[in-house]
A and B are shown apart, each in its own frame.
Chain A
Amino acid sequence: METVEKTKLATIWLSGCSGCHMSFLDQDELLIDLAKKVQLVYSPIVDVKIFPENVDVTLVEGAVANEEQLSLLKQARAQTKILVSLGDCAVTGNVTALRNAWSDSDQAVLEKAYVETSDEKALIPMAVPKLLKKVHSLHEVVKVDYFIPGCPPSAALINYVLTELLAGRTPNMEGRSKYG
């Protein structure tokens, strides 16, 4: 039975590598303390399939690379009080955005992977979410409240930011904003 109201925490991964989520799990034993203070209401590591209403804090990893991610991000923004860009892909685009250097990058990458380097049935998959023309960092698309750079950000940094947010304070990112 919960006697203290737990903060509703959600996490999403978009077009990244899940390394930031792994860094989140790298909090190791501190996860036990975190579990006492938060309720994980949506995350790739829990079985909730629809993004809920009234989320307090959402951590979003990964850049926006296809249409479904775009609509999920917008939904998360609308249903969350504090949205945090987690990791370099979310904050800057990072490796995921390397394809932006090509014009018509969505076509270029699809042609290469599915037509040029396939042996059988070389075709571009259609019945899957459509790639956007460019890969976007999150704040190009929605308003973001806080940013945690890093590839990935260390578990200690993630823990610091979460601790500050849970206490209602603004994290101080001077000296904590190392990309890469």
Chain B
Amino acid sequence: MVEEGKMNKEIVISPITRIEGHAKVTIYLGKDDSVKEARFHVTDFRGFEKFCEGRPFYEMPSITSRSCGICPVSHLIASAKACDEIVGVNPPKTAILLRRLIHMGQIIQSHALNFFHLSSPDLLLGMDADPAERNIFGLIEKQPDLAMQGIKLRKFGQELIEKVAGKRIHSSDWILPGGVQWPLPKKKADYLLSTLPEALDITLKTISMFKDRLQGLDEEVQNFGNFPTYYMGLVTATGGLEMYDGNIRVVDQDGKIVADQLDPEKYHEYIGEAVEPWSYMKFPYYKPLGYPDGAYRVGPLARLNVASHCGTPLADKELKEFKKLGKNGVVQSTFLYHYARLIEVLCCIETAKNLLEDPEILSERVTSKAFVNNYEGIGVAEAPRGTLMHHYKVDPQGMIRWVNMIIATEHNNLAYNKAVTQVAKKYVKTKQLREGMLNRVEAVIRAFDPCLSCATHAVGQMPLEVQLIDSEGKLIDRKIR
């Protein structure tokens, strides 16, 4: 698909595969054939901010859960927190523990999905491997033990969600404003504790394997989205890793804390959203620096950059090693999102164990009852891919009048564009297109682990064709996958 633009030549990679959602990349070449810029376009949109209007607020967890099938729990939690505020109650302690538990399950399965099912074919079969085999089915054939480990780790996360909330995906019957619908029976808690050690073992083995391979991946580390940005994430009162509650911390590329313990509900004071005509995904930016200088990253890499500790022993040990890879403990390379992801899985498994062993998690008091007491509610939590915000305004009867959602993946949009530009500049050098070159552009996107259904509150797809055109508009080369 050739598109004429201000630049003379364009290469379009479409669709990006082995990511969640629909996107394409356009690489703009100058007259001298060098890469000038690359852009990351998100190509579908559903419109949650509009069609939720007129629905009762207590349906929002159910509806927003359907933003995304990989991280529906993140939306359930952010939405429930916003609804808690509308209702004006504090959920009982057990309800919070259970919500935290299911959140751990969510992060474990989502990170496992990205690492094993989506990205590992690049890392383990090779970036230049035959595209027909460079996928989870190819992994099942070529490295069956590893594929099985990935399946089992994801299964653990999904079962954690299922046992607590009744359903693996879109378990919206369980969570509600003011708490959760039903408690956790001891039998199920015991079952989860029995399958936990295997998940822990797989995670530790995978981290070890990744670290071993890191030497051979130096090129990727240096060139895949390795550039300075700010970082943002939720932290505890003592600056530790926090996924469910906490306050916002922003850290600059040198590790300096530029803003700390910000109220996440006042997100609008420090985060703005811009629009570009070539993508359905909006562009959040850090307001003090303006647009587009205010680029920042969220997600596993960012969270480990802003946090000083994880709070669980094995994860903290790994975190110390991880931070050594960056200046002042801040790791810039997007490729190392993969490493950060694994450390987060470790932390989540350790945390899940603590939660399951807490006797209070079995208590039956799990709902606080009330109705509309406030006309506005904001819920913020850390989804697997970064900070997620749900903001609702209702009328006195509780009908939604206004919705805004800033989705984890969105925050990284400016960084996405920087990253694909960097990789394209490094690898799209010759007049010959090679398939592995294109795959590398896609691989940096996979490292971010985008969730584009969420990010545009929509989903879509397109086929891929890459064309290389010279300055006279003549087709030099073409690759179709």
A-to-B contact residues, CB < 8 Å? 12-23, 25-26, 28-29, 31-32, 35, 39-40, 43-51, 62, 65-66, 68-69, 72, 94-96, 98-99, 101-102, 105, 108-114, 117-129, 131, 151-152, 155
Contact = CB atoms under 8 A, between A and B. Distances in A.
Contacts of A15: 44, 46, 458-460
Interface string B455-467: 0011111111100
A22 B73 CA distance: 13
Contacts of A101: 51
B481 A120 contact: no
Contact of B481 (A26, A43, A45, A50): A50
Contacts of B18: 44-47
Nearest to B24: A128
A66 B44 contact: yes
A32 B66 contact: no
Given A47-B439, A112-B47, A129 B275 contact: no
Given A15-B46, A20-B69, A112-B47, A129 B20 contact: no
B478 to A, nearest CB: 12
A17 B453 contact: yes
Which 10 A-B residue pairs are closest in the complex by CB-CB distance?
A19-B69, A49-B464, A109-B47, A120-B274, A49-B481, A119-B272, A98-B51, A47-B131, A46-B135, A112-B50
B41 interface: yes
Interface string B282-307: 11010000010000000000000000
A123 B276 CA distance: 7
A32 B278 CA distance: 40
Interface in B1-44: 14-15, 17-22, 41-44
A101 B155 CA distance: 38
Interface string B135-159: 1110011001001100110110010
20 contacts: A13-B22, A15-B460, A16-B69, A17-B68, A22-B70, A22-B168, A22-B169, A23-B69, A23-B168, A32-B148, A45-B117, A48-B131, A49-B464, A49-B465, A68-B43, A72-B461, A110-B47, A113-B282, A118-B273, A118-B275
Interface centre among B17, B45, B278, B481 (most CB of A within 10 A): B45
Of B20, B141, B459, B462, which is in contact with the most chain A CB atoms at under 10 Å from its CB? B459
A31 B480 contact: no
A16 B117 CA distance: 20
A18 B170 contact: no
A13 B43 CA distance: 13
B359 interface: no
Nearest to B272: A119
A68 B51 CA distance: 22
A14 B151 contact: no
B178 interface: no
Interface string B186-213: 0000000000000000000000000000
Given A46-B18, A117-B404, A17 B69 contact: yes
Given A94-B66, A125-B277, A65 B169 contact: no
Contact of B282 (A25, A28, A98, A114): A114
A14 B460 contact: yes
Contacts of B154: 25, 28
Interface string B425-465: 00000000000000100100000000001000111111111
B275 A18 contact: no
B47 A66 contact: no
B383 to A, nearest CB: 14
